[in-house]
């Protein structure tokens, strides 16, 4: 292997590891924020706005439990990403996708926050799908 090839391989490995760490940190933050949002929904806090004519009408407490569960799973998966577990990459994409869906469906209750969480989750999916880990990097 030439010096230039080793340098390119090292740069790719660092790029993949950096994206994994980015995705893990972002998923951890999204999970913790979803846990807080779930607690607010369960407590039926007055922060949430209710809209009468929305196609997807759900009980606010039910949304709280959904967001709480998604947040807990997101935090667990992010810990797996920090360890470099392969299952965590695929689970991270799946949980981030579910967070996007849940936030889309709860847009009328807290629209700005839902859009922020959708953007966070999109960056997580991007980070997990773009990185091309090598066999020797552990990611």
Q: Kindly state the tokens that stand for 41.
A: 């929904």
Q: How far is CA 120 from CA 15, 24, 27, 96, in A?
A: 20, 12, 8, 9
27-65 tens-digit pLDDT: 999 999 999 988 988 887 555 555 566 545 666 788 889
Name the more confident of 18 and 11. Answer: 18
C-alpha 118/C-alpha 57 separation (Å) is 19
* Span 73-120, pLDDT tens digits: 999 999 999 998 889 999 999 999 999 998 898 887 778 888 998 998
CA 68, 64, 97 angle in degrees (round to 5)?
A: 60
Q: Which of 29, 91, 27, 101 is nearest to 63 (CA)?
A: 101
How many C-beta neighbours within 10 Å does residue 20 have? 23
Write down the pLDDT at residue 81. 92
- Going by C-alpha positions, the residue among 93, 85, 90 that lies closest to residue 26 is 93
pLDDT at 88: 92
Q: For residues 116 and 65, give the distance between their C-alpha atoms in angstroms, rounded to a whole number.
A: 20
Question: Rounded CA gap, 130 and 56, in Å?
Answer: 33
pLDDT at 67: 87
The Cα 96–Cα 83 span in angstroms is 18
CB distance 20 to 127 below 8 Å: yes
């Amino acid at each position: 292997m030439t010096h230039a090839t080793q340098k390119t391989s090292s740069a790719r490995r660092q790029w993949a590891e950096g994206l994994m760490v980015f995705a893990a940190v972002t998923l951890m933050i999204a999970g913790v924020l979803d846990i807080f949002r779930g607690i607010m929904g369960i407590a039926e806090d007055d922060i949430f706005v209710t809209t009468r004519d929305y196609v997807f009408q759900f009980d606010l407490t039910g949304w709280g439990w959904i967001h709480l569960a998604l947040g807990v799973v997101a935090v667990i998966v992010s810990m797996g990403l920090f360890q470099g577990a392969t299952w965590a990459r695929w689970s991270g994409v799946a949980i981030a996708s579910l967070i996007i869906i849940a936030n889309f469906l709860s847009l009328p209750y807290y629209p700005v926050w839902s859009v922020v969480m959708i953007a966070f989750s999109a960056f997580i999916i991007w980070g997990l799908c773009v990185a091309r880990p090598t066999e020797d990097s552990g990611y």
